[in-house]
Copies of this chain bind each other. A is one copy, B any other.
Amino acid sequence: MTTETPKGARVIFERPELLADRSTHYCPGCGHGVVHRLIAEVLGDLGLGARTIAVAPVGCAVFAYDYIGVDFVEAPHGRAPAVATGIRRVRPDAFVLTYQGDGDLAAIGTAEIIHAAGRGELLTAVFVNNGIYGMTGGQMAPTTLLGQRSTSSPGGREAAFHGYPIPMTEMLAIMPGVAYAARGSVVDAAAIGRTKQYLRRACEIQLEGRGFAIVEVISNCPVGWGMTPTESIERLRDVVAKEYRPGVIVDRTREA
What is A's interface to B at a CB cutoff of 8 Å?
107-111, 114-115, 118-121, 142, 159-160, 162-164, 166-167, 170-171, 174-177
Contacts and interface: CB of A to CB of B under 8 A. Distances in A.
How many copies of the chain does the oligomer comprise?
2
A119 B174 contact: no
Contacts of A170: 174
A7 to B, nearest CB: 55
A160 B171 CA distance: 21
Contacts of A110: 110-111, 114-115
Contact of A176 (B118, B164, B176): B164
Nearest to A167: B174
B119 A164 contact: yes
A163 B177 contact: yes
Contacts of A163: 115, 118-121, 177
A229 to B, nearest CB: 30
Given A167-B174, A170-B174, A174-B167, A162 B114 contact: no
Contacts of A164: 118-120, 175-177
6 contacts: A110-B110, A111-B111, A114-B114, A118-B164, A163-B177, A164-B175
Given A120-B159, A159-B120, A114 B166 contact: yes
A119 B162 contact: yes
A243 to B, nearest CB: 12
A209 to B, nearest CB: 10
Contacts of A177: 159, 163-164
Contacts of A119: 162-164
Nearest to A116: B163
A177 B166 CA distance: 9
Contacts of A120: 159-160, 163-164
A160 B119 CA distance: 8
Nearest to A108: B111
Given A108-B111, A111-B108, A118 B166 contact: yes
